[in-house]
Amino acid sequence: MHFPEYYSRVLITGGSGFIGGSLVRRLLENTRAFIFNLDKISYASDHTSINNVLSKLGESASNRYKLLKVDLNDPDATLAAVRAADPDLVFHLAAESHVDRSINTPQCFVESNVKGTFHLLEALRQHWDALPNDRQKAFRLHHISTDEVFGSLGVTGSFNENTPYDPRSPYSATKAASDHLVMAWHHTYGLPSVITNCSNNYGPWQFPEKLIPLVILKAKLNQPIPLYGQGLNVRDWLYVEDHVDALLLVATSGQLGRHYCIGGSSERTNNEVVSAICTIMDNIDPAADPYFNLVSYVSDRPGHDLRYAIDSSLITQELNWQPSRSFEDGLKKTVLWYLNNMNWVHQRIS
């Protein structure tokens, strides 16, 4: 793994979330950097996977890791956390991310995704301005966003770095706003920044409100598997460890002021995803009836985008990245992990 040693102090916001936790674990296992995890510890946060790695690696890793329990909505606490971390590199992942929740409670999405990003940017601007010249030149902020800011595609075409923003839900609108704030601070104040927009992530340790772990849980409990509309919405699926590979490349080698789109090249309708999960479970954990019989089609949610797809050619050409896992292999690994960790799943939803 390529990771320059001059990034010796790394601040990760939302490091107790699904993607953030994967990034924290990777850096603990493969670098000597000091890792600061700024996380407010919400309902979807979980520290189990990080604790497992810290236990495995021992004192040397524990001495390089610190959890900063801070809500980005608190500007004073955010500034204090940035000063304590004194970072050379920042990954900003902290965000409310569940579309259904954004429809029901949009205010918390505005507060976390927009105001929280603003407070972080102001704290980082003060920090960056005060750095000595050599550290100031090396400093980077990597803001992690979503393909949902681009809106909805028809049956053809793909999102790329030149696609106009067209968010359709409170979640995607607040993420779009945070993207614009980051680029404004880059162009106005010179804060060295880069943005990535990724497709749907999946893999172990994801909170079971998301589609793939939710389907596994419902099937295992022999409960109805809810599927919006007719299950024809299309998403591009990206295994989380492949995403972490891309994040590290962009953060350390991407061109400042640029957007990079990261996709898994694995478009599937929701029907196809659920069917694939059910087939895997039919083979390894069979029930009396095929699991797909549990599917229950429910009314579509408001503003539900029809199709997302990403053209990742820029990051492939510039940084030689491409996903290393097929959807079939990644999905099987994910299903097996959840079936072997149902105690953790039940703890998360209790």
Catalytic residue among 71, 148, 236, 245: 148
Provide the whole-model pTM. Answer: 0.96
Catalytic residue among 39, 71, 96, 147: 147
- Rounded Cα distance between 260 and 256, Å, is 11
Catalytic residue among 65, 171, 202, 338: 171
Compute the distance between CA of residue 322 and CA of residue 243 in angstroms, rounded to an integer. Answer: 9
Compute the mean pLDDT over every residue in the chain, rounded to the nearest whole number: 95
Tell me if residue 147 is catalytic.
yes
Query: Which class does domain 9-202+238-265+309-324 fall in?
Result: alpha beta
Judge whether residue 304 has pLDDT over 80: no
Spell out the SS3 assignment of 50-116.
HHHHHHHHCHHHHCCEEEEECCCCCHHHHHHHHHHHCCCEEEECCCCCCHHHHHHCHHHHHHHHHHH
- Picking from 119-133, 246-260, 287-301, which range would have the lowest pLDDT averaged per residue? 287-301
pLDDT tens for 147-171 read 999 999 988 899 999 999 999 999 9
**Annotation marks residue 241 as catalytic:** no
Domain limits of the chain? 9-202+238-265+309-324
Known catalytic residue: 289?
no
> What ranges make up the beta strands (E) of the chain?
9-13, 34-39, 65-69, 89-92, 140-146, 193-198, 200-202, 225-228, 234-239, 259-262, 267-269, 295-298
pLDDT in tens, 227-248: 998 999 999 999 999 999 999 9
Query: Rounded mean pLDDT of 59-72?
Result: 95
From residue 292, give the alpha-carbon distance in Å to each of 144, 203, 230, 231.
34, 21, 14, 12
pLDDT attached to residue 63: 95
